Amino acid sequence: MPRILDKYVFRETAVPFLLSISILTVTALLTKIVKLIELLVTRGAGITFAVWFVLSIIASFFVYILPISFLIGVLVAFTRLSSDSEITAMKASGLSLFGIARPVLFFAVIAYAVSLAFTLYVFPWGNLKAKTLFLDTTKTRLVSNIKEKVFYDAFKGAVLYVNHMTDDGEMQGIYISEEGTEKRQGIGNGPMVFFARKGVFMPSNDDSTLFLKLFDGAIHSRPHDAAAKDSAYHIARFSTYIIELKLPDIGAASMLAKGEKELYINELLDRIKSMRSKGQDTLKFVLELHRRFALPASVFVFAFLGIPLGIQKVRVQRFTGFNIAIAIVLIYYILTMIFETLGKNGMLPPSLAVWGANIIMFMAAVYFFYRAAMDAPLNPFQGMRARRSRKKSP
């Protein structure tokens, strides 16, 4: 019988939990749909980009959705069980509240493991992937804006002219005028002009450049210093040549520089160690390190808090649990902001600043759970008023 009841309570909690995850995920994605449409239309992104964009966005906010969904699942399940007097029947059969809560705690362990894995590995990947996608679409937009028979000067220090562009992206009749800043393969460091029969863009590992592979062409150059010993006009012919085109300043270096939210756990530890050895401030990285573990641990707080609040004698709609969940999440968020603000101002150590909200709400959760297990009202003043009324009655 206990095993059957465990499966029953587990299933009653899992259904609203999964439903809540679906609803919150779709709702969160809807807030990004305008940005996605903008990237698809104005930056020439394709279906592959859209898929990766959605996955990166889900990865970045799923760590917040999972604990909230777990709380909603527990509250909705136990509100329904209490409203239908099933909690009373379970207690009458000899089960204590601790026994009824056993499948919920087992569920909390699973939710904690999944949430921790997302926080440590998927969350930083999602944040960094979103930055990379934005940079890639910027490159794509630069290439897609190239038009036939138009001088294109979006690249740094270079002007590109293309006579004809094929449907497969190949450019024909290419002219490139480049300022002489670096010496290229012994052909001088002055201004250079490239002529090529055709060319195609190639991928580059450097986020600030693009490679253009030219075929059947020539390079015309002359040194900057006309009084130099070798000031002759040079012409070099080639069958294939790869030219590096500098992208305009789009903040690629700062964009892809990993902040605390893009670092994996081992990178966070290394960054903190390195910065401490240099005497630099590590506060935001230490806060992020503790946050990676504190947020998944909130599922245990919500487990002990959701059960006693869910079984209160509230004879209204079964979706009352959702409203209670919103109130609890709001309180948790406010406490988290208060503690982290105190931590950032140096008034609390980083560990207490991050874990403070969990500690306070867990203490309240254990207190409420104990009173519910003793069949006492969660509000202690309610019992005091009841005792006073009994003393006054004849």
Q: Exposed, middle or buried: residue 57 (CB in 10 Å: 0-12, 13-18, 19+)?
A: buried
Q: Where are the beta strands (DSSP E) in 227-266?
A: 234-246
Q: Are residues 127 and 239 in the same domain?
A: no
Inside any domain, residue 146? no
For position 47, what pLDDT does the model report? Answer: 73
Inside any domain, residue 350? yes
Inside any domain, residue 153? no
Cβ pair 219, 194 in contact under 8 A: yes
Q: Are residues 267 and 380 in the same domain?
A: yes
Buried b (16+ CB within 10 A) or exposed e, 208-242: bbbebebbebebbbbbeeeeeeeeeeeebeeeebe
Domain boundary among 225, 247, 269: 247
Query: Phi first, then psi: what are they for 176, rounded to 5°?
Result: -130, 125
Inside any domain, residue 393? no
For position 146, what pLDDT does the model report? Answer: 80
Q: What are the pLDDT digits (tens) for 250-304?
A: 554 445 567 788 888 998 899 999 989 988 888 989 999 999 999 999 999 999 9
Identify which of 217, 132, 226, 143 has the alpha carbon closest to the alpha carbon of residue 180.
226
Q: Are residues 67 and 30 in the same domain?
A: yes
Cβ pair 178, 157 in contact under 8 A: yes
For position 3, what pLDDT does the model report? Answer: 81
Half-sphere exposure of 165 (CA within 13 A, CB side): 15
Cβ pair 343, 349 in contact under 8 A: yes
Query: Phi first, then psi: what are they for 228, rounded to 5°?
Result: -70, 165
d(C-alpha 173, C-alpha 199), whole Å: 8
| Spans of the chain below 50 pLDDT | 185-186, 226, 252-254, 315-319, 386
Domain boundary among 214, 247, 280: 247
Q: Exposed, middle or buried: residue 112 (CB in 10 Å: 0-12, 13-18, 19+)?
A: buried
Inside any domain, residue 252? no
Q: Where are the beta strands (DSSP E) in the chain?
A: 158-165, 171-178, 192-202, 209-221, 234-246
Inside any domain, residue 196? yes
Q: Are residues 261 and 136 in the same domain?
A: yes
Q: Are residues 307 and 219 in the same domain?
A: no
d(C-alpha 79, C-alpha 92), whole Å: 18
d(C-alpha 154, C-alpha 66), whole Å: 44
For position 186, what pLDDT does the model report? Answer: 47
Identify which of 320, 369, 352, 329 has the alpha carbon closest to the alpha carbon of residue 83.
320
Q: Are residues 135 and 172 in the same domain?
A: no
Q: What are the pLDDT digits (tens) for 48-95?
A: 777 887 888 888 888 899 999 999 999 888 888 888 888 888 888 888
Half-sphere exposure of 176 (CA within 13 A, CB side): 31
Inside any domain, residue 300? yes
d(C-alpha 100, C-alpha 86), whole Å: 11
213 token code pair: 């592979």
319 token code pair: 């979706």
Q: Are residues 233 and 273 in the same domain?
A: no
Inside any domain, residue 35? yes
Identify which of 162, 119, 163, 148 has the alpha carbon closest to the alpha carbon of residue 293.
119
Count of domains forming the chain:
2
Q: Are residues 233 and 318 in the same domain?
A: no
Domain boundary among 247, 274, 309: 247
For position 206, what pLDDT does the model report? Answer: 65
Task: State which residues form the domain around 216.
Answer: 158-247
Q: Are residues 282 and 308 in the same domain?
A: yes
H or E element: which one contains 148? none
d(C-alpha 359, C-alpha 321), whole Å: 23
Q: Are residues 199 and 220 in the same domain?
A: yes
Q: Are residues 25 and 162 in the same domain?
A: no
265 token code pair: 């756990």
For position 107, what pLDDT does the model report? Answer: 94
Q: Are residues 14 and 128 in the same domain?
A: yes
d(C-alpha 66, C-alpha 275), whole Å: 32
